């Protein structure tokens, strides 16, 4: 796991070594073990290294291939690099790591090399002969990659803060990026919070040559159609187990010890159980424990640790620890996000225990219909008859809900849904996952005034309507989750919060082969009879019943009370500062803050928190 940076001058002028160093130093937390630079006429590349595979200095980057033609900077891991290496017989390898395999694969197959890779990655390769720059991001969007283009330069980096450190970019907010943030608590591609800085889409690559930029999507999860007969339920379960085990095995490839988050829930318990099966090494597990019973899940984690004979570490935290770490967590945020504080605190605690790589159970809910949104959407589709009414009638029904309802978020969502042309996933998902509605954003900000209000997520889902409609209903929701909350909030927060403390997190449930297979499974097989029943039954008898049928707890901390008490002065200062910004309707924002403090249920703490987090980020990064 590392941090990468680069500057390409379209006119071939000498790149500034001091600028690429400033950019790379801004990502030092991503790679504390080594740094490296390549500077030549027209191009500069930088790299920060967190040593995981082949710990020798020979594997440091930027990495140059045998011929001297290609120069690469690489962030991430190629889990199947040994398999790929066997297919490259005409290259003399000098290291034992995945970096050299990647660049050798590019030298052999060019951009088509991506089809051979299984892993999480973002990399850039400079071709000295063609004077072209090739950039690529992994299929699931686990590793970030940002870029900026003006008339003279192309800049890229693993983090926004590195691009800003170049001092070549105006620190102005992006209207489209802010609309995404207020809608979904994070910002999806292609936008960011900064005007001009863009995100490369997951499963995409870019070729930059002669000042021209050509982008290509090389993988689309809505197009996955494995050749398999799902009529045989037992063979389907067997295949799920094989793919889960394969995914875990891939993520154990490391030259440093690999630990695992163990909450005691279904997802993390399966990962730990398969770790014990996949390796002779004793698994190292970590659980965050609390004295307060309403938060504590440590008894379940201990049960799994005992069953699989893990080297178990229980880290006792007070809920107040999350408050104490809040300033550090907010400072760690590279791309504005209203979530992720939990990820930071847990990652920091594990890193303090000497672990550099940890497996996580995130992703099981997306694959096996574990989130409430799966049942919510299925219930909504059972009301398809609603959209057979004329639009005027549905508008009347929506308006009447304001008079009869409580004016809460649930009522507001139903009103929006009634006004849709239909209840398809592309239309409904953005509403089911929103934090602030379009109406609320327009009431509190001057963003997009006088223009049609549509988010990038809505555009993408509508653009994939035909492909989504062809998928099983539960898989439609999974796909929407991957394209929405999962990529832009869950995975992004996991990366930025863990890398802030130099911890590499690997997610077995985000494996390409596993995802493609499970998304093709028909609903009659996948529909849960109890939480994630298909996955549980596929790995039987791996989990004890106490784990499968336990009541889910999780980090449900009293944020609403904290915002009104311990965090009140912290929030109030930032709300007042935000109210002064020219894209905010300050009086209305301050009124909302007062209503929240009075306990008005129409204003949720999560809505207030959006403005607090964003203001903190804007101030820290000196953004106008």
Classify residue 93: in a domain, yes or no.
yes
Comparing CA positions, the residue from 439, 432, 419 lying closest to residue 458 is 432
Last residue of a domain, one of 160, 184, 219: 219
- Residue 154: inside a domain: yes
Query: Domain residues for 449?
Result: 372-477
Residues 108 and 244 in one domain: no
Q: 86 lies in a domain?
A: yes
DSSP states of 128-172 as a string? TTTTEEEEEE-TT--S--EEEE-SSEEEEESSHHHHHTTT-S---
**Within this chain, do residues 317 and 297 fall inside the same structural domain, yes or no?**
yes
- Max CA separation in the chain (angstroms): 75
Q: Is residue 280 assigned to a domain? A: yes
* Exposure class string for 225-252: b at 16+ Cβ within 10 A, else e: eeeeebeeeeebbebbbebbbbbbbbbb
> Is 571 in the active site?
no
Asked whether the predicted pLDDT for residue 1 surpasses 90, the reply is no
- Alpha-carbon span 535 to 361, nearest angstrom: 13
pLDDT in tens, 149-185: 998 999 999 999 999 999 999 999 999 999 999 999 9
Q: Say which residue, 408 or 94, is predicted with more confidence.
A: 94
Quote the pLDDT of residue 297: 84
In percent, the amount of the chain with pLDDT more than 90 equals 76
Specify whether 490 is located in the same domain as 521.
Answer: yes
Do 274 and 322 lie in a common domain?
yes
SS3 state at 329: helix
Looking at residue 271, its pLDDT comes to 97
Same domain membership, residue 12 and residue 74 = yes
Question: Residue 204's beta-bridge partner residues?
Answer: 217
Among the listed ranges 9-23, 132-146, 395-409, 450-464, which one has the minimum average pLDDT value? 395-409
Same domain, 362 and 422: no
- In residues, how long is the chain? 624
Q: Provide the 10 A C-beta neighbour count for residue 354.
A: 11
Q: pLDDT tens for residues 440-492?
A: 999 999 998 777 778 999 999 999 999 999 999 999 999 999 999 999 999 99
Band (pLDDT 50/70/90 cuts) for residue 266 is very high
Kindly state whether residues 16 and 153 are assigned to the same domain.
yes
User: Is residue 609 in a domain?
Assistant: yes
271 compared with 342, residue with greater pLDDT: 271
CATH number for position 532: 3.40.50.620
- Residue that terminates a domain, selected from 433, 461, 477: 477
- Average pLDDT (248-274) is 93
Strands (E), 13-152: 34-40, 43-49, 63-64, 70-78, 119-127, 132-137, 146-149
The answer to which of 31-40, 187-196, 289-298 has the lowest mean pLDDT is: 289-298
Query: Do the domain assignments include residue 554?
Result: no
Average pLDDT for 512-540 = 96
- Tokens of residue 210, six digits: 């002669």
Residues 306 and 361 in one domain: yes
Residue 427 lies in a domain: yes
Provide DSSP, 362-375: TTHHHHTT-SHHHH
Q: Same domain, yes or no, for 259 and 204? A: no
Whether the link from the prior residue into 339 is cis, omega within 30° of 0, is no
Indicate if 317 and 390 belong to the same structural domain: no
Among residues 159, 186, 219, which one ends one of the domains? Answer: 219
CATH number of the domain residue 34 falls in: 3.60.20.10
Average pLDDT, the chain: 92
Q: Catalytic residue, from 2, 113, 136, 571: name it.
A: 2
What is the domain count for the chain?
4
Question: Is residue 612 one of the residues assigned to a domain?
Answer: yes
In this structure, the number of other CB atoms found within 10 A of the CB of residue 258 comes to 21
Q: Do 48 and 168 fall into the same domain? A: yes
Name the least confident of 66-80, 134-148, 236-250, 420-434.
Answer: 420-434
Note whether 292 and 357 are same-domain residues.
yes
Q: What is the average pLDDT across 561-568?
A: 92
Task: Give residue 28's pLDDT band: very low, low, confident or very high (50, 70, 90).
Answer: very high
């Amino acid at each position: 796991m590392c941090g990468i940076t680069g500057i390409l001058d379209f006119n071939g002028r000498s790149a500034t070594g001091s600028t690429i160093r400033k950019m790379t130093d801004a990502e030092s937390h991503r790679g504390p073990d080594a740094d490296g630079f390549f500077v030549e006429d027209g191009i500069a590349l930088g790299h920060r290294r967190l040593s995981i595979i082949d710990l020798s200095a020979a594997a440091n980057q930027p990495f140059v291939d045998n011929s001297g033609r290609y120069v690469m900077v690489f962030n991430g891991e190629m889990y199947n690099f040994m398999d790929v290496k066997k297919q490259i017989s005409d290259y003399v390898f000098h290291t034992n790591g995945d970096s050299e395999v990647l660049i050798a694969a590019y030298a052999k197959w060019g951009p088509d090399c991506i089809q051979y890779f299984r892993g999480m990655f973002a990399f850039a390769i400079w071709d000295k002969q063609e004077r072209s720059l090739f950039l690529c991001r992994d299929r699931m969007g686990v590793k970030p990659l940002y870029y900026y283009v003006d008339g003279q330069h192309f800049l890229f980096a693993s983090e926004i803060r590195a691009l800003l450190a170049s001092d070549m970019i105006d620190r102005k907010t992006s209207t489209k990026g802010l609309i995404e943030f207020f809608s979904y608590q994070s910002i999806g591609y292609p936008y960011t919070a900064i005007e001009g800085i863009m995100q490369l889409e997951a499963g995409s690559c870019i070729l930059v040559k002669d000042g021209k930029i050509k982008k290509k999507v090389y993988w689309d999860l809505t197009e996955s159609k494995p050749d398999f007969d799902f009529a045989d339920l037992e063979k389907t379960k067997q295949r799920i187990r094989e793919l889960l085990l394969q995914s875990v095995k891939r993520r154990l490839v490391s030259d440093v010890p690999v630990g695992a988050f163990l909450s005691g829930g279904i997802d993390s318990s399966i990962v730990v159980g398969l770790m014990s099966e996949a390796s002779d090494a004793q698994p190292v597990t970590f659980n965050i424990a609390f004295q307060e019973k309403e938060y504590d899940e440590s008894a379940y984690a201990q049960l799994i640790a005992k069953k699989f004979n893990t080297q178990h570490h229980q880290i006792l935290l007070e809920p107040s620890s999350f408050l104490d770490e809040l300033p550090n967590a907010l400072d760690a945020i590279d791309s504005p996000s209203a979530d992720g504080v939990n990820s930071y605190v847990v990652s920091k605690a594990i890193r303090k225990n000497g672990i550099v790589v940890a497996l996580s159970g995130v992703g099981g809910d997306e694959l096996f219909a574990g989130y409430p949104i799966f049942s919510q959407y299925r219930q909504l589709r059972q009301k398809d008859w609603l959209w057979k009414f004329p639009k005027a009638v549905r508008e009347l029904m929506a308006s009447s809900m304001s008079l009869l309802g409580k004016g809460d978020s649930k009522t507001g969502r139903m009103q929006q849904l009634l006004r849709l042309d239909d209840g398809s996933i592309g239309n409904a998902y953005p509403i089911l996952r929103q934090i602030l509605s379009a109406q609320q954003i327009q009431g509190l900000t001057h963003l997009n005034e006088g223009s049609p209000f549509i988010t990038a997520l809505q555009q993408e889902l509508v653009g994939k309507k035909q492909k989504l409609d062809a998928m099983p209903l539960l898989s439609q929701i999974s796909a929407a989750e991957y394209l929405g909350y999962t990529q832009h909030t869950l995975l992004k927060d996991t990366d930025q919060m863990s890398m802030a403390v130099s911890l590499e997190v690997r997610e077995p449930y985000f494996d390409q082969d596993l995802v493609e297979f499970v998304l093709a499974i028909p609903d009659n097989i996948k529909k849960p009879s109890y939480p994630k029943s298909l996955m549980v039954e596929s790995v039987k008898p791996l989990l004890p019943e106490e784990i499968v049928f336990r009541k889910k707890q999780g980090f449900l901390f009293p944020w609403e009370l904290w915002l009104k008490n311990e965090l009140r002065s912290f929030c109030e200062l930032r709300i007042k500062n935000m109210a002064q910004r020219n894209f905010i309707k300050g009086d209305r924002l301050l009124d909302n803050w007062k209503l929240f403090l009075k306990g008005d249920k129409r204003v949720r703490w999560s809505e207030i928190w959006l403005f607090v987090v964003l203001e903190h980020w804007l101030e820290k990064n000196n953004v106008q």
